[in-house]
Structure 1
């Protein structure tokens, strides 16, 4: 294979979770040109990725004319297309780009049968109640060309310098906390976050808040004002992914919900404390940084569980995780499981992790932070 196209037409977190597939393809074909096709605004996570030659960004809605232009651009340009999404559009682009294709397909129904017939190798997706992590699912696309299991390694963007005003505020041992979620059913209550920030500050830890430019993100960060004394509470402002990666790599701990930034923190190999509600961890837990010979296995339900440097917390409710979009199963739904994860529990686990961190507490010994 001299040229490959990886197709991942979903959100930012999904793009990052495709980097083990891209890296494994580079490992299998060291001299191949690997391009990635995805939606505009989602591929910046791959900017500077050494495994990728070109990023091909397309609008979520192409229209007839836009679709024709893209098909002309892709037509039989590649030796192999790896379709890392099960959507009709992703498979159409794969069929246009190469005669040889491996792709993810739904288990049954709709166009599943047609997709299977068009592929050299089909991987049936497990679905949100399955036990196969999406990283492993995507890696299975390479099975016909791999004698051994490929390395499962997330590749984060290279670090970029932080804005000088932010860099001057950072104290040793700071903790990065990401309070916003894109959808209500993934949102840990903001009052819980406020309590958590106060407990971390009381233990002598500086908290750095991250978020994007959207009104929802800015509101979630603004709601944290006054939760801790000013020197111990810093708004990182708007960072690109390279700067965010640099901020994460310098942190003693990252705390956040089921969001793309949590996956990025895991890729940066920083200790991660993830707060999960209805989302199934066996499918979507942040992927830890482990040696190749170690197996990543998450339990479906556990109050607290750790794999590598990633710790995941869930509610002690019999319905969690349900694998649905909240209790009402739509994106704007609320949940009962996330409020049930008390901030005192999260703070206790965070301080336990920090007690073993290589980063000292600002102005003191990390062991003191544990006792606090």
Structure 2
């Protein structure tokens, strides 16, 4: 394996928005290792917004999920052996083939098992086998292992959120000090906490004197889930933030007293922004996918597989008290549109009580 001069690095992360954000510790560690190197990131179109303004990155390369023959040939011409090192931060076939095109020296993730592992391993100078959805190694820690041959010690595991951008005046003028951001939508039904649970939570927070600010994306289902909160609290204590870009969303989160949300990319962003986070998890294994907390470098991040409520740093994570939790599947029927019995079992009064406890504890730690 070549451990010599590295002047250019390509990080390949062809997955969804949350996965992209969870790759920023790897990108940051690469920047710390090679301060003068050019570090580019390749991912799918529509997923790289979390990385705009990231000081560790030189260029973002967006590709369509389906390249086609012409698109594939264009990408090959653009990337052919352009980099000294490719870090394949996803285990997919496509990510490994792109890595093979981009550089003669590659480190990459492999799935726990699969017929493609043989040829992928032969393409790599350094391979890291992932532990799977029910493993006990967080994805952030796995991605950092890609740098092991080039590191003399453990790398700093630091999520890098996008820089804050100004909020729309119509929103910023209505924000009250101590507001709580609540993200109600999930991309898939099997990760969706029930709307009626969110409504009760919003009402309880408003009764406690908190302004609740709702966030969601532009998709019709997101808008419908946010709209379903109307009337859950008095108008002066319930505010729809509308559709924000990631920089504006980061600014909104950094000003919040607390963020509450499900297993989604915005929850990971809130953790990266350093705000107190209350995450509502269903079938997903927190040892693999919990929001990454802001902790001192020397403190080990290790989540329990199952706990009614557990906290690390500024992140608190809640799960149902059911023996099947977490199953690591896409809901009870194991498909993206599946029902999930464990999420409705997390009662809204329990989440509200935990949220108010966090708010009280956080107010005590603030300087007067």
Bin the TM-score by the shorter chain: over 0.9
State the distance in 2 between where 1:335 and 1:57 align.
33
Aligned residue in 2 for 1:218: 223
Question: How far apart are 1:30 and its partner, in Å?
Answer: 0.6
* Residues 1:69 and 2:74 are matched in the alignment: yes
* Residues 1:343 and 2:348 are matched in the alignment: yes
State the distance in 2 between where 1:57 and 1:338 align.
34
State the distance in 2 between where 1:115 and 1:282 align.
26
Q: How does 1:19-58 map to 2 (within 5 A)?
A: 19-58=24-63
Aligned residue in 2 for 1:283: 288
The root-mean-square deviation of aligned C-alpha atoms, in Å, is 1.3
1:10 aligned residue (15, 18, 25)? 15
Deviations 1:127-153 (A, max 9, x none): 100000000010000001111100000
Deviations 1:38-83 (A, max 9, x none): 0000001100000000000000000001000001000000000000
Aligned residue-pair number: 362
Deviations 1:8-51 (A, max 9, x none): 00000000000000000001111110000000000011000000
Task: Check the 8 A contact 1:245/1:268 in 2, yes or no.
Answer: yes
* Residues 1:177 and 2:176 are matched in the alignment: no
* Residues 1:125 and 2:130 are matched in the alignment: yes
What SS does structure 1 have at the residue aligned with 2:331? coil
Question: How far apart are 1:359 and its partner, in Å?
Answer: 9.2
Question: How far apart are 1:109 and its partner, in Å?
Answer: 2.1
What SS does structure 1 have at the residue aligned with 2:362? coil
* Residues 1:162 and 2:167 are matched in the alignment: yes
State the distance in 2 between where 1:114 and 1:106 align.
12
Task: Check the 8 A contact 1:173/1:359 in 2, yes or no.
Answer: no
- TM-score w.r.t. the length of structure 1 is 0.96
Question: How far apart are 1:263 and its partner, in Å?
Answer: 0.1
State the distance in 2 between where 1:108 and 1:245 align.
37
Aligned residue in 1 for 2:3: none
State the distance in 2 between where 1:167 and 1:121 align.
48
Q: How does 1:1-372 map to 2 (within 5 A)?
A: 1-358=6-363
Question: How far apart are 1:358 and its partner, in Å?
Answer: 4.0
- TM-score w.r.t. the length of structure 2 is 0.97
Instruction: Extract unaligned runs of 5+ from structure 1.
Output: 361-372
Instruction: Extract unaligned runs of 5+ from structure 2.
Output: 1-5
Deviations 1:218-246 (A, max 9, x none): 00000000000000000000100000000
Question: How far apart are 1:250 and its partner, in Å?
Answer: 0.1
